Structure 1
């Protein structure tokens, strides 16, 4: 067997002559052993990093992931705890709203059965038994839904209550109450009396309040001025429409301080007492008209 060997220098190849078969077998065995050694060396070099190194690397990676997860859980727990505290604060506000609502109902003298600010909420907030760790999300969600329903209910009740109180206040404002003067006395009642000008009987359709000339005449209720000036028999007259069919008149004024179309409030000075028109001396002739009919003002001036 002849084996040709070429060098890297590009020179003449050399030949190796094997005369016996066992020499070829030995050479083949050496070549195979060399190749196997190269493969083994590769595996050996790769095995220089022990499995523990890979395990440690994986453990480090898992540890970092767990730390990140724990940070997320901690942040979520802090957020949930803050949310729980906020829910508690809102429930405290609801309690104060309930107390205010109940007080308003009592002050306005409204049937408490129509406005229930005492009933306990259908669902509570987080239980007192919840540990210091983050509250259960289901409990928080239930508390939020319950609180939202409760706040909507209270808002609706307070809105209606506000309307009722406003209407009640408005009714009180425009309902004739009190005397049309600040100082003075009742000089003539409603009903039959002797005519001061002719001595015959006549029906007096109002009340007369005497006092010092120039003293204040006030509106007994809020409303809109529908007459402000001279009128036959009344002298200088102020007429105020209060709505709901009520009108009041103030006659014989020395001077008028309001104008037609002007809105006035209860107790506002509208004129100065005088003796204009059909009058025997300084006084105000006061009339209350309900649905077009002059009625006795006594029951109105006695209310304050």
Structure 2
């Protein structure tokens, strides 16, 4: 094989002649080393690509794991917020119940006449004792609050029942005659058989006479409604008060009346003034207590507040 090299300047060309041996060496180099070079180069490129692909997959896996953790964290935050909201709501309900319970306890303390220093519902209950450590298990706050709520509800129901009982008792006491109808004075004639002050013969006295200062007030012995106010034979001027307990109190021999039929009166309200009207020997008030229309001994009702 002959190779002619033509340079850029004229007249300086060279020619070379390659033998068969030279051609064989060139073919061997081209046939062996070039494929090997390109093979190694391709392998390196492929390895680099695989490594890059593995790193990309690892980064993607890390990203997915971070996304899952972020989702789990948000769910945990939401659940914690829900529990805190439920806890705050439960605490608010318990605080409202405790306030109502304290108010109810204060009312009962006043109604029952208890010592407020001993039953003070506005101060914390005294507690104490050594601390115990190492107790197994933890405190279930929600379960404890539920139990406390049930206990408060039960206590409230009991206190309300007690309040109703005390209120009924107070109402019964308010409409049951008890007290001393005159300002001062003394019993001048008892209930039952006595010597009639005008005839001297034995007679049945259906009330109690209380001698008192002329013109002094006569007061109601219990809450009620004035059912009679006027004149009656032998009684002179009379006021009768009907009470919700079914009893009727009668006040007789009055100087003047301060109420009229239909008036509502409370215990201690002035009804009339002490006089000596009717069949009377001097200033006093004749007191009767009627049960089912029949006179009963007023002494027990008078002693109740004497």
Q: TM-score, normalised by structure 2?
A: 0.64
Residue 67 of structure 1 corresponds to which residue in structure 2? 73
For residues 224 and 104 of structure 1, do their structure 2 counterparts lie closer, same or farther at Cα, with a shift above 3 Å needed?
same
User: Aligned with 2:221: secondary structure?
Assistant: coil
Question: Equivalent residue of 1:62, what SS?
Answer: helix
Structure 1 residues 211-230: aligned runs within 5 Å: 211-230=212-231
Report the number of matched residues: 240
Aligned to 1:281: 282
For normalisation by structure 1, the TM-score amounts to 0.64
Q: Distance in 2 between matches of 1:254 and 1:102?
A: 42
**CA distance, structure 2, for counterparts of residue 158 and residue 79 of structure 1:** 30
Corresponding residue to 1:140 among 136, 139, 142: 142
Assess, with a 3 A threshold, how the Cα gap between structure 1 residues 65 and 283 changes in structure 2: closer, same or farther.
same
Classify the secondary structure of the residue corresponding to 1:52.
helix
The reply to whether residue 50 of structure 1 matches residue 56 of structure 2 is yes
2:243 aligned counterpart, secondary structure: strand
- Structure 1 residues 275 and 52: CA distance shift in structure 2, 3 A: same
CA distance, structure 2, for counterparts of residue 95 and residue 242 of structure 1:
34
What value does the CA root-mean-square deviation take over the aligned residues? 4.0
Distance 1:154 1:201 in 2: 61
- Residues of 2 paired with 1:155 and 1:143: CA distance? 16
Residues of 1 paired with 2:236 and 2:89: CA distance? 72
Which residue is equivalent to 1:257? Answer: 258
* 1:110-259 mapped onto 2 (5 Å cutoff): 136=140, 140-141=142-143, 143-144=145-146, 146-259=147-260
CA contact (8 A) 1:256 1:270 kept: yes
Q: Report the CA distance between 1:96 and its aligned residue.
A: 5.8
- Range with greater deviation from structure 2 (151-160 or 241-250): 151-160
Change (3 A) 1:85 1:251: closer
Structure 1 residue 105 displacement after superposition: 10
Q: Which residue of 2 aligns with 1:28?
A: none
Aligned in 2, Cα 1:174/1:47: closer, same or farther, shift over 3 Å? closer
Q: Match of 1:20?
A: none
* Partners of 2:216 and 2:112 in 1: CA distance: 39
**Partners of 2:104 and 2:159 within 8 A in 1:** no
Query: Does the 8 A contact of 1:185 with 1:211 survive in 2?
Result: yes
Structure 1 residue 272: Cα displacement: 0.9
3-state DSSP of counterpart to 1:279: coil
Deviation at 1:279, TM superposition (A): 1.8
Q: For the structure 1 residues 196 and 155, does the alpha-carbon distance in structure 2 shift closer, same or farther, using more than 3 Å as the test?
A: same
Question: 5+ unaligned residues in a row in structure 1: which ranges?
Answer: 1-36, 109-127
Question: Structure 2: any 5+ residue segments left out of the alignment?
Answer: 1-41, 115-134
The alpha-carbon distance between structure 1 residues 249 and 149, as it changes in their structure 2 partners (threshold 3 A), is same
Correspondence list, 1:81-96, <5 A: 82=88
